[in-house]
Structure 1
Amino acid sequence: MAKLDIELIAVDEQPLDLLAKLAKAKFNADDVHVLPGTNTLDIDKGINDIRGLIDGNRILFYYRYKKDCIRYEASILDYCRANNLTLRFNASER
């Protein structure tokens, strides 16, 4: 899986709680849970096309299909704007 060029920064709440809210709002998830054999989190109700990874107060995102990258970034950005959250953009290789 490839890493999205954005990260969500948890400032006022626990990263896992924030990720769960995002996953429910944007990726139709019922809950967030660790995928067995990985350190990533299922955030799309088992479809496994996007995953989350918590690193300190940062939430990183990984996607399976390049064709979905822009859509996932847009969904995360939309959620951050609507909820006044901190987002970090990373240098892109695209």
Structure 2
Amino acid sequence: MLPNQDIRDAIKRQGICTWELAEKIGVHETTLYRYLRKELSEQEKQKYYALIFEIAKSKRKGEYNEYDSRSIAIVSIWFNSDPTGWKKANYQRLAKSFSR
């Protein structure tokens, strides 16, 4: 069994992504994985549990925006790399079809 398996299981059970927890903690997702390699203290675990449940609760209420700032930045770079505007027009067309 991996260290901090209870934290990993809580993340899965609550239906959140590791990047969401990492963002809430203020670290990169890779850093969170490094933290989880060694057994956390009970105090740290309680902090992680509280954040996991907070994220899950806000997602259930619809308050949490699943499009994080990293995704927005990537899409922005993608749009700006297209001088013809083809990408932006097609992305907007696709977004409209999914919002119906």
When the two structures are superposed, what TM-score results if normalisation uses the length of structure 2?
0.38
Structure having the higher strand fraction is 1
When the two structures are superposed, what TM-score results if normalisation uses the length of structure 1?
0.40
Greater Rg over alpha carbons, structure: 2
Give the number of the structure with larger relative contact order, counting CA–CA contacts within 8 Å between residues 6 or more apart.
1
